[in-house]
Amino acid sequence: MSATGASEPGTQPQKEVCLLSLDGGGVRGISTLMILKILMESIDPKNPPKPCDCFDMIGGTSTGGLIALMLGRLRMSVNECIDAYEKMAHDVFTKPRNPVISKGRLRGRFDHEALERHVKQLLESRAISADALLDDRLNPNSCKTFVCATFAGSDENIILSSYNNRQRNHQRDQDLLKTTKIWEAARATSAVGRFFGPITIGDETFFDKASGESNPIETMLVEAQDMYRRDKSLPDQHIKCIVSIGTGLYFKSDLGHIDRSLKKIAIDAELYAQNFRHKNSKLFDSRRAFRFNVHSGLENIDLEEVAKWGEIKAATRLYMQEEQVHEQIKDFVKNMQTRECKLLIHFI
């Protein structure tokens, strides 16, 4: 088998893969983690597995990218990720400042140095160098991880990944694969709108004016096809399970106090989800694709409102108890029951 996952027909059965896609959405990312916590506990209430042991690939954008790095590249449990995310958010999102131009560069609404410091401290707490590379090719069986970022000026989306996708063969992609540090990937995916300022990695500067991807589900499918699909005539044969998690439905139009950039992120994320469902209905009809996104209770919560985490968690728990969502969870668990890694399944 090649590094891209391709092999000669008939040599090995098609590998079925499980994929996890995480939207962006500020502090409301805690809703993403609460949903994932319930999913993992549904697999095994006594000993919930780590997402990196359930999913072959985890990808995210913005705060979803931060979570993807923690779960995938750092191989953290959901509870560990929740603890780290809460500490980070309390320090980073509770001290907003005016976004201004400083020395010719945009200064973000939040302190990027505080974000960088937290990511580096988290790495060191896990016995990983603060300047460790995102590249994880020395561990070929580890969960593949990517984050979405945007080139400043051109608004071109880019993937920063822990693996080598040979279909992305531009020299720029290869250079970034070899040089990008984990903390730099965290900064690049977070450089969105007025929230965090730009970051330069090598010769490339990253900054998204909130025009890029707020839901990486389409990117996830393309990456999985590049890495795992053998028969090009069967576009989804390799998909065992694909889970997309949002940070709550879009804001009501009359909520003038909510940041415009965050409104656009939330609205676009759900539009991406609806479009993906329309184009890939077979995945949903066969109960291989799942979308979880709280539809009520988060409308009034802005990016930095850490004080409202209790409301976010409560709304998420109520959502996960709804009958239709409960049926989705059961279908997800049944899907994972036949996963290649022999997970012990407890039906809910």
Say which amino acid occupies 321: Q
How far apart CA 316 and CA 329 sit, in angstroms, is 14
What CATH number is associated with residue 109? 3.40.1090.10
Q: How many domains are there within the chain?
A: 1
What's the confidence (pLDDT) of residue 266? 61
Tell me whether residue 342 is in a domain: no
Tell me whether residue 10 is in a domain: no
Q: Where are the alpha helices (DSSP H) in 24-62?
A: 29-43, 51-54
Tell me whether residue 174 is in a domain: yes
* 300 CA to centre of own chain: 23
What's the confidence (pLDDT) of residue 123? 98
Tell me whether residue 345 is in a domain: no
Distances in Å between the Cα of 287 and the Cα atoms of 4, 183, 262, 280, 316 are: 27, 36, 31, 11, 22
Q: 292 with 325: CB under 8 angstroms?
A: yes
Tell me whether residue 286 is in a domain: yes
Tell me whether residue 182 is in a domain: yes
pTM of the model: 0.88
Q: Which two tokens stand for residue 286?
A: 């066969």
What's the confidence (pLDDT) of residue 344? 42
Residue 77 is given by DSSP the state -
Which structural domain, as residue segments, surrounds residue 330? 17-337
How far apart CA 15 and CA 229 sit, in angstroms, is 8
Tell me whether residue 110 is in a domain: yes
Tell me whether residue 185 is in a domain: yes
What sign does the CA torsion over 140, 226, 198, 246 have? negative
What's the confidence (pLDDT) of residue 338? 77
Burial of 142 (0-12, 13-18, 19+ CB in 10 A): middle
Digit-by-digit pLDDT tens for the chain (348 residues) are 434 344 333 334 567 899 999 998 888 899 999 999 999 999 999 999 999 999 999 999 999 999 999 999 999 999 999 999 999 988 887 665 555 555 555 555 677 888 999 999 999 999 999 999 999 999 989 999 999 999 987 878 899 999 999 888 788 999 999 999 999 999 999 988 767 888 999 999 998 876 557 899 999 999 999 998 877 656 677 899 999 999 987 655 444 444 555 556 666 777 888 889 989 999 999 999 999 999 988 887 876 778 888 999 999 999 999 999 999 999 999 999 876 543 444 434
